[in-house]
Structure 1
Amino acid sequence: MATQSIARGMSREELLALPVAVDLDTANRALTIGRSTGYTLAKQGEYPVKVLRLGNAYRVITADLHRLLGIVLESAAGPDGSRQP
Structure 2
Amino acid sequence: MVDLATAARALGVGRTKAYELAKRGAFPCPVLRIGTTYRVRTADLLNLVGIEPQQPSREDPPARTDT
Q: TM-score, normalised by structure 1?
A: 0.62
Residues 34-45 of structure 1 aligned to structure 2 (within 5 Å): 34-45=14-25
Equivalence for 2:48: 68
1: CA distance, partners of 2:40 / 2:53 = 18
Select the structure of larger CA radius of gyration. Answer: 2
Residues 21-32 of structure 1 aligned to structure 2 (within 5 Å): 21-32=1-12
Identical columns (%): 54
Residues 10-25 of structure 1 aligned to structure 2 (within 5 Å): 21-25=1-5
**Aligned residue pair count:** 56
Q: TM-score, normalised by structure 2?
A: 0.77
Deviation beyond 3 Å, 4+ runs, structure 1: 73-76
Equivalence for 2:28: 48
